[in-house]
Amino acid sequence: MTGSTGTTFSTSPPSAFHAQEMASTVLQLPQELRQKVELVVDASYPFEACGVMIGHNENTAGEVAVEDVFHARNLNTERARDRFLLDPEDHLAADRVARQRGLEIVGFWHSHPDHPAQPSTTDLETAWEGHSYLIVSTAAFGTNVLKSWRLDGGQFLEEQIVRPSCR
Ligand SMILES: [Zn+2]
């Protein structure tokens, strides 16, 4: 894992996210990658799906460019409706592919079946700074809401998601 360090917090935050403040970073997510994630999320319903996003991390403008997304196995079979545990082998495989392509792991995505696209306290406990956490809220009728989050000072701040212009 590159660029991730364990962070300990002296106080436990009252909420997993801060509703008003926005993160200083922007997630550039191409439409085809968004669709790739939504396809897996819909097929996995009512269970949580999860995966890895690779790309370029923050440039001077604070942009995180996603170049590819991968689906990973959710090892938590007992509580697959509301918990996910990303398979470490899939994590390593994504890291290998990223480095082969001159990229890095920029974040992770997972779904919240029948729950809002807001991070849970479990998400907060397992998150690292410097990564984007894309959460997809999904329901039986297939409505997907995507929100991206960044850990900042022990709380999640929402990050703007944009579609990159043609490169
Ligand atoms: Zn979650």
Separation of CA 100 and ligand 1 centre (Å): 29
Question: Which residue of the set 21, 32, 38, 48 is catalytic?
Answer: 48
Round the average pLDDT of the chain to a whole number and report it: 87
Residue 2 DSSP SS3 = coil
Residue 150 has pLDDT above 50, yes or no: yes
Q: How far is the CA of 59 from the centre of ligand 1 (A)?
A: 27
What residues pair up with 93 in beta bridges, in sequence order? Answer: none
Task: Give the distance (Å) from ligand 1 centre to CA of residue 111.
Answer: 7
pLDDT interval class at 74 (50, 70, 90): confident
Quick check: 77 pLDDT over 80?
no
CB-based burial, 113-145: b 16+ in 10 Å, e otherwise: beeebbbbeebbeebeebbbbbbbbbeeeeebe
Ligand 1 center–CA 33 separation, angstroms: 20
Question: Please, which residues bridge with residue 36 across strands?
Answer: none
- Is position 78 annotated as part of the catalytic site? no
CA of 166 to the centre of ligand 1 (A): 31
**Confidence class for position 82, pLDDT limits 50, 70, 90:** low
pLDDT at 6 over 60: no
Kindly report the CATH number that applies to the domain delimited by 18-162.
3.40.140.10
Mean pLDDT of 53-79: 89
Do 116 and 16 form a contact (C-beta atoms < 8 A)? no
Residue 41 is predicted with a pLDDT of 95
Residue pair 136/160 in contact by the 8 Å Cβ criterion: no
pLDDT of the residue at 7: 47
Give the pLDDT score at 49. Answer: 92
The more confident residue out of 77 and 143 is 143
Q: What is the mean pLDDT of residues 13-33?
A: 86
Q: What is the pLDDT of residue 20?
A: 78
